[in-house]
């Protein structure tokens, strides 16, 4: 359980950053001036406060990850980090972005959850 607690801040920050970037890119594409192309499109993304918050969350998540791997074996922490991040992104994208949740996704999430539980044991 200690492993999950140590990995959780990174998981939450990285999942937040992924979901926010997807949400904002979809919404910015519908705004007036969305006809930007090339470099201007990416400059408009970078200047968006929500996308900036996602970048900051990713940076802070990286710092939290440094702390995590300094205290835990990488072979234990990394699979748990990957599994929990996948679960958080799938659940968040279904709940917040109305992405479909189907049987294969649910089965995959259940298998990952079992793997995370086993991996957290040692």
Q: Average pLDDT across each block of 10 residues of the chain; the chain has 122 residues. List them in order.
A: 88 96 85 68 86 96 95 89 92 93 90 82 68
Q: What is the pLDDT of residue 7?
A: 94
- Which residues touch 8 (CB under 8 Å, ≥6 apart)? 84
Q: What is the pLDDT of residue 119?
A: 74
Residue 48: HSE in the Cβ half-sphere, 13 Å Cα cutoff: 23
Q: What is the pLDDT of residue 112?
A: 87
Q: What is the pLDDT of residue 6?
A: 92
Phi, psi (degrees; rounded to nearest 5) at 78: -65, -50
């Amino acid at each position: 359980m200690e492993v999950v607690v140590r990995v959780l801040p990174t998981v939450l920050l990285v999942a937040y950053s992924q979901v926010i970037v997807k949400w904002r890119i979809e919404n910015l594409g519908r705004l007036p001036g969305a006809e930007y192309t090339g470099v201007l499109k990416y400059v408009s993304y970078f200047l968006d406060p929500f996308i900036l918050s996602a970048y900051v969350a990713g940076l802070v998540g990286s710092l939290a990850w440094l702390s995590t791997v300094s205290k835990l074996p990488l072979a234990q922490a990394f699979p748990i980090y990957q599994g929990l991040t996948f679960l958080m992104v799938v659940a968040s994208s279904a709940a917040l972005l109305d992405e479909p949740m189907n049987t294969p996704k649910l089965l995959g999430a259940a298998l990952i959850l079992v793997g995370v539980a086993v991996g957290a044991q040692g």
